[in-house]
């Protein structure tokens, strides 16, 4: 297998190893995709039975760039659940990620642990790095959004904390703790309300927390306790900002997970060897054989890759006054394939040709000539039928099919790009003559 490691991004993300049949065999996450994926293709990697076995089976490496390590962790878990890769043992081995634990005590605490116990406590996580989650909790504590005791003393209303221990407590004297050990400072019911707020924040239930903070702020304003009201207002502003960040991350993770579904569907329907994530689409634009041009546009996972957009001024001249779309398509595909070979680019997973059986045969002929191994289909405009090599009858997908909608979107983009170039050529020649 050839891997262009130099082209990999240095962002956090998830990488997916596939075998010869495009089956997902391993999913992993990385703080730096380039460094992590590269580590599998070093000499030292062969010393481990796991990486050496994995490396022998890998035929293709896909990756998804994420906003951060937390998002990568969430997406990694979802993909492992979805594909159940053969080599994934990370959720079965002894490696533990940090968790946040709200203890089950008369006055609960927030602590960090690496193992979940059957103690009826509340656990949140796992998180990819302890340092990051600790900074987040410190930020929430600094804003006053999470205010739970920091000591590990064992006490309750029935078993109060010894006076000398309370007097010696630095947090008690500096006001960094709500001090449930002193009933004159806070009652048990008030403290449990702080615990409830912390749990809601950790669960991401920001809406209810904001609602309660707003009620408290209004109450303080009515009592003319403006300093407390301003403090609650600052808490609300801080939480609103954090809530916006989290909702964006969760939305991104969900979109990343669902983004490949149309292409997975397309592979199943057409019986393709690979999930066609990298697709290039061809279209011809001409006016009765004059000003003939072709376009090829590129999409990766349904997103435009304009760096690989190409347009061609067709050199083929038909014998009659009409055009010959078949020969024009043959030329366009040949020229694109020549460029791929000369530049050493990775061939796309799939070529999509605008047209029917005739255009498909021309494209297939060009691919055979090139010696490149790749698949090709065509999409006919009239009935939106999909033609595939070796199939007599076209595939007719429902108009609501995600696979068909994706193909149409890409085909229409190729058409737009071809027509715009055709008009540019035609207008330029018109002005030159006049």
Dihedral sign of CA atoms 298, 300, 301, 304 in order: negative
- The H-or-E segment that residue 141 falls in is helix 130-142
The pLDDT assigned to 191 comes to 93
Whether 89 and 111 share a structural domain:
no
Whether 186 and 215 share a structural domain:
no
Q: Which residue pairs from 235-242 have beta carbons closer than 8 angstroms and sit at least 24 positions apart in sequence?
A: 235/143, 235/144, 235/145, 236/210, 238/143, 238/145, 239/143, 239/145, 239/201, 239/206, 239/209, 239/210, 239/213, 240/206, 240/210, 242/140, 242/206
User: Residue 203 in contact with residue 124, Cβ under 8 Å?
Assistant: yes
Quick count: other Cβ atoms within 10 Å of Cβ 294? 28
C-alpha 75/C-alpha 258 separation (Å) is: 11
C-alpha 285/C-alpha 293 separation (Å) is: 5
C-alpha 360/C-alpha 392 separation (Å) is: 13
Whether 198 and 209 share a structural domain:
no
Whether 283 and 180 share a structural domain:
no
Whether 23 and 106 share a structural domain:
no
Whether 208 and 349 share a structural domain:
no
C-alpha 386/C-alpha 376 separation (Å) is: 11
Of 402, 285, 296, 401, the residue nearest 351 (C-alpha): 296
The pLDDT assigned to 229 comes to 83
230, 258, 286 - which closes a domain: 258
238, 258, 278 - which closes a domain: 258
C-alpha 340/C-alpha 200 separation (Å) is: 54
The pLDDT assigned to 21 comes to 67
Whether 211 and 120 share a structural domain:
no
Whether 105 and 39 share a structural domain:
no
- With a cut of 70, which residues of the chain have pLDDT below it? 1-4, 20-21, 45-50, 52-53, 56, 67, 89-97, 125-132, 204, 238-260, 289, 318-323, 432-434
The pLDDT assigned to 195 comes to 92
The pLDDT assigned to 302 comes to 85
The pLDDT assigned to 251 comes to 41
Overall domain count for the chain: 4
Of 46, 61, 57, 84, the residue nearest 13 (C-alpha): 61
For the chain, state the CA radius of gyration.
31
- The H-or-E segment that residue 360 falls in is helix 357-370
The pLDDT assigned to 258 comes to 64
Domain span at 412? 264-433
183, 203, 223 - which closes a domain: 203
The pLDDT assigned to 250 comes to 40
The pLDDT assigned to 56 comes to 62
Tokens linked to 373: 């191994």
Whether 70 and 119 share a structural domain:
no
The pLDDT assigned to 93 comes to 46
Whether 268 and 409 share a structural domain:
yes
């Amino acid at each position: 297998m050839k891997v262009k490691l130099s082209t990999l991004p240095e962002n956090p993300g998830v990488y997916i190893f596939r075998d010869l049949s495009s089956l997902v065999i391993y999913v992993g996450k990385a703080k730096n995709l380039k460094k992590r994926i590269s580590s599998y293709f070093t000499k030292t990697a062969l010393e481990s039975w796991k990486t050496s076995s994995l490396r022998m089976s890998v035929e293709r490496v896909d990756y998804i760039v994420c906003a951060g390590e937390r998002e990568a962790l969430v997406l990694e878990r979802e993909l492992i659940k979805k594909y159940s890769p053969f080599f994934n043992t990370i959720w079965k081995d002894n490696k533990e990620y940090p968790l946040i634990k709200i203890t089950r005590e008369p006055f609960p605490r927030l602590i960090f642990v690496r193992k979940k116990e059957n103690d009826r406590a509340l656990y949140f996580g796992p998180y990819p790095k302890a340092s990051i989650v600790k900074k987040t909790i410190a930020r929430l504590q600094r804003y006053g959004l999470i205010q739970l005791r920091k000591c590990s003393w064992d006490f309750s209303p029935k078993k109060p904390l010894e006076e000398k221990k309370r007097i010696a407590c630095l947090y008690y004297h500096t006001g960094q703790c709500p001090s449930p050990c002193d009933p004159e400072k806070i009652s048990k019911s008030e403290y449990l309300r702080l615990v409830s707020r912390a749990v809601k924040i950790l669960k991401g239930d920001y809406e209810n927390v904001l609602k309660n903070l707003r009620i408290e702020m209004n109450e303080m304003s009515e009592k003319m306790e403006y300093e407390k009201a301003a403090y609650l207002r600052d808490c609300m502003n801080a939480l609103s900002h954090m809530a916006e960040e989290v909702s964006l991350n969760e939305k991104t993770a969900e979109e990343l997970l669902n983004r490949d579904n149309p292409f997975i569907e397309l592979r199943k329907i057409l019986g393709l060897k690979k999930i066609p994530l990298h697709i290039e689409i061809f279209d011809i634009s001409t006016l009765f054989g004059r000003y003939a041009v072709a376009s090829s546009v590129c999409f990766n996972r349904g997103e435009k890759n304009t760096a690989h957009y190409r347009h061609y001024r067709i050199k083929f001249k038909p014998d009659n006054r009409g055009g010959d779309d078949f020969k024009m398509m043959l030329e366009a595909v040949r020229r694109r394939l020549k460029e791929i070979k000369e530049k050493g680019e990775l061939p796309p997973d799939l070529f999509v040709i605008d047209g029917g059986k005739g255009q498909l045969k021309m494209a297939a002929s060009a691919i055979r000539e090139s010696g490149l191994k790749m698949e090709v289909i065509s999409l006919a405009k009239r009935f939106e039928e999909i033609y595939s090599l070796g199939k007599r009858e076209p595939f007719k997908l429902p108009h609501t099919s995600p696979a068909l909608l994706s193909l149409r979107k890409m085909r229409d983009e190729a058409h737009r790009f071809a027509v715009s170039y055709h008009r540019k050529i035609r207008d330029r020649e018109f002005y030159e003559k006049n």
